[in-house]
Amino acid sequence: MIDLSGKAALVTGGSRGIGRAVVVRLAGQGADVAFSYRGNEEAARSCTVEVEALGRRALAVQADVTDPAAAEALVGKALEAFGKIDILVNNAGITRDDLIMRMGVDTWREVLETNLFGAFYATKAVMRPMLRARYGRIINMTSVAGIAGNAGQANYSSAKAGLIGLTKATAREVASRGITANAVAPGFVLTELTESLPGNIKQAILAATPLGRFATPDEIAAAVAFLASDEAAYITGHVLTVDGGLVMQ
């Protein structure tokens, strides 16, 4: 069993969906968890209660990941609460889908700033304490869209592809200090977003997925917990696809 006892984690975008599943999974494996949320205070409170029910400490911080100063403050609050950050999960992300010919510049920029720039800001903010500790696990939530592309998601696919490059560059920079950097690339996951898809789109997705079903958020969280653990100490610069075989390389 994965044991994260004594570890302190920070998850961006941790109040709902995959992020919340990651927060709860890390806590369930023994870690204290700080997480950021954008604006849903009720979801953040209920996530905090869920973590504390597992006997772990929780810290919810409202933060805009597109603001470098907010990323610094988020890391500072987590360090103040826990004394260290062993695990960083860059999960915060948004979608603003449209075809390239119709996509506004602001729509392009908003997705890149949240999904890619936000991960850079958080990684940069956590780097110094991890380097001092000579230990760290950085996990970026990318997507199969960043590997194969997705029509109508040029902004999202580009941001997620950029995260893969960020992951590998980070891994090379910090490996000598005992810090690993990896990415998890989910396929289609059962969330509020996918539940609202039209039936024909769902059927097309299932037909293209060899395992013939959507993932659950818990299955994505399990992959994150593995990469955060000492069992994955010799894995770095890797992109772990959790997609039911949708994209095979």
Q: How far lies 196's CA from each of 137, 151, 157, 187, 201, in Å?
A: 34, 18, 21, 16, 10
Strands laid side by side in the 32-37 sheet: 58-62, 32-37, 8-11, 87-90, 136-141, 179-186, 239-242
Distance in angstroms (rounded) separating the CA atoms of residues 226 and 199: 33
Distance in angstroms (rounded) separating the CA atoms of residues 46 and 65: 21
How many alpha carbons lie under 13 Å from residue 152 in its C-beta half-sphere? Answer: 4
Distance in angstroms (rounded) separating the CA atoms of residues 34 and 78: 6
Per annotation, catalytic residue among 121, 135, 156, 234: 156
* Tokens 């470098």 found at: 68
* H helices present in the chain, as ranges: 17-28, 41-53, 68-82, 105-112, 118-133, 145-148, 154-174, 192-195, 199-208, 217-228
Whats the size of the chain, residue-wise? Answer: 249
234 in active site: no
Give the three-class secondary structure for 230. Answer: helix
State the catalytic residues.
156
